[in-house]
Structure 1
Amino acid sequence: MIRSNEIGATILRVFLGITFFVHGLAKFQGGIANTAGFFESLGFPGFSAYVVALIELIGGIALILGIGTRIVSILFVLILAVATVKVKLAAGFLGNGQMAGYELDLALLVISLYLAAINKSFLALDNLLFRSKDA
């Protein structure tokens, strides 16, 4: 039987997956070398831009399908936490007029934490691949 919280989790999972997929795709379409340069300006190695973009792209698809939801969500938490602290925190919650604030990053982080903590959501391949004993 489908519970209403599973439907809500599915909506959040698909939304988060689409959001990260689009962000990962934009990094490649906008020139991943530019993103690598930005990462280097923050003190990260340039190759980390490729890692983050691939996690966003592949992780987004995985969340849409409901594969590896907990692992992908934890990776998204890490990405969002670093992005918030290293880039957005100085701009404040709502931004400073020159840069967006960290309100969206924080919302996506909370959704990611929720998805990492829950047992399952509706229409997720994880439910078929990893059937729980109470199902």
Structure 2
Amino acid sequence: MDEKIGWGLFLGRLVLGVIMVAHGCQKLGHMEDAVQLFHRMGQPAWLAYVTAIIETGGGLLLVVGLFVVPAAMLLGLTMIGAIVLVHLPQGLIGGFEFPLALLGISMILAMTGSDKLSLAEIFKNRKET
């Protein structure tokens, strides 16, 4: 893979990971509020827990570079949910533009992966030696 592309994917992986960890930790730290928010949207309480875990865990996996493709796929699904269930009625500007951008990064990483400065690459190199 071209060196510049590898670094671009790394930066996308890191940015998405940090944002998702922040959002997941916010939900986990205020789980009652998150459950109430999901309830007001007509969603079951369990979905608030699943979302918080996927955002936090998936974001951490991206930051360290493990299971990037499946983590990005799960994070992409949460962004589809956020767009459809929450932000779509607000329109693009000031509505679903941010989750759409995160969905775009998720899709890129789900299709390409990212091994630059990743634990997966370190483990792969150790195994080959």
Question: Scaled by the length of structure 1, what TM-score is found?
Answer: 0.85
Alignment match, 1:63: 62
Match of 2:101 in 1: 107
Gaps of at least 5 residues in structure 1 are: 96-100
Amino acid at match of 2:5: N
Aligned AA (1:18): V
1:5 is aligned to 5
More helix by share: 2
Q: CA deviation at 1:38?
A: 1.3
Q: Quickly say closer, same or farther: Cα 1:35–1:41, change in 2 above 3 A.
A: same
Amino acid at match of 1:9: L
| Distance 1:128-1:2 versus aligned 2 partners, 3 A rule | farther
After TM superposition, the structure 1 stretch with the greater mean CA deviation from structure 2, 44-53 or 9-18, is 44-53
| 1:60-100 CA-partner distances (Å, limit 9, x unpaired) | 111000011000100011100011011101001113xxxxx
Q: Percent identity?
A: 33
CA distance, structure 2, for counterparts of residue 78 and residue 119 of structure 1: 16
> How far has the Cα of 1:2 moved from its partner?
6.7
Q: Secondary structure at the match of 1:67?
A: coil
2:121 counterpart residue number: 127
Could you tell me which runs of 5 or more consecutive residues in structure 2 were left unpaired when the two chains were aligned: none
| TM-score normalised over the length of structure 2 | 0.89
CA distance in 2 between partners of 1:54 and 1:23 (Å):
10
- 1:71-82 equivalences under 5 Å are 71-82=70-81
Amino acid at match of 1:110: G
Write the deviation string for residues 97-127 of structure 1: whole angstroms up to 9, x where unpaired.
xxxx111110000000000011433111222
Displacement over 3 Å in runs of 4+: 128-131
CA RMSD of aligned residues (A): 1.7
